[in-house]
């Protein structure tokens, strides 16, 4: 997946039937961002930007915020072996922001693709990484004989 200094991306994804779905080869080095705080990125309409992000083991959330007017970003996160960890276009019906939640068993460097919808505008956004909270399971108490 990543090779040499600067980490170049070469990804072959396998579809449900075992055949290839998509191939990406990026010859330019993929920049590395630590995302210790919100990081501003610029992406043009219809274009994609790949970055590498080192993260520790655990549950993570990557989210776009501070979107330029008309920017509709999408996120795709690939693990160190090229396996898709998660993807999202719109956070919900009321937001064009994107958010991906995923888990890592060991500290790893993930590859993040940030893309802008070709029908919208390009612009700037902030990308944030944070530990994802586990959603609590609320136990249900069953009453017998009621």
The pLDDT tens digits for 49-94 are 999 999 999 999 999 999 999 899 999 999 988 889 999 988 888 8
How many Cβ atoms sit within 10 Å of the Cβ of residue 105?
Answer: 8
% of the chain beyond a pLDDT of 90: 45
Structure tokens at 96: 């064009």
Q: What is the pTM of this model?
A: 0.74
Looking at residue 60, its pLDDT comes to 94
Looking at residue 111, its pLDDT comes to 93
The stretch 14-42 carries a mean pLDDT of: 68
Looking at residue 3, its pLDDT comes to 39
Residue 8 pLDDT exceeds 60: no
Contact (CB, 8 A) for 105 and 134: no
Buried b (16+ CB within 10 A) or exposed e, 54-91: ebeeeebebbbeebeeebbbbbbbbbbebeebbebeee
Length of the chain: 146
**Higher model confidence: residue 92 or residue 98?**
98
Tell me the C-alpha distance between 107 and 16, whole Å: 28
Q: Please state the φ and ψ torsions of residue 21, each to the nearest 5 degrees.
A: -105, -45
Looking at residue 78, its pLDDT comes to 93
Instruction: Please state which of the four CATH numbers 1.20.1440.120, 2.60.120.380, 3.10.105.10, 3.30.70.3000 is assigned to the domain occupying 30-130.
Output: 2.60.120.380
Looking at residue 80, its pLDDT comes to 86
Half-sphere exposure of 130 (CA within 13 A, CB side): 12
């Amino acid at each position: 997946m990543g090779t040499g200094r600067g980490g170049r991306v070469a990804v072959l994804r396998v579809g449900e039937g075992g055949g290839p779905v998509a191939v990406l080869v990026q010859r330019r080095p993929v920049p590395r961002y630590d995302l210790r705080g919100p990081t501003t990125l610029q992406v043009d309409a219809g274009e994609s930007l790949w970055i590498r992000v080192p993260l520790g083991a655990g549950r993570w959330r990557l989210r776009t915020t501070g979107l330029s007017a008309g920017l509709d970003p999408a996120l795709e996160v690939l693990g160190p072996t090229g396996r898709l960890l998660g993807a999202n276009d719109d956070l919900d019906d009321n937001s064009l922001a994107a958010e991906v939640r995923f888990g890592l068993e060991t500290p790893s460097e993930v590859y993040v693709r940030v893309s802008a919808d070709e029908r919208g505008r390009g612009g700037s956004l902030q990308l944030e990484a944070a530990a994802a909270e586990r959603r609590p399971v609320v136990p249900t108490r069953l009453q017998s004989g009621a």
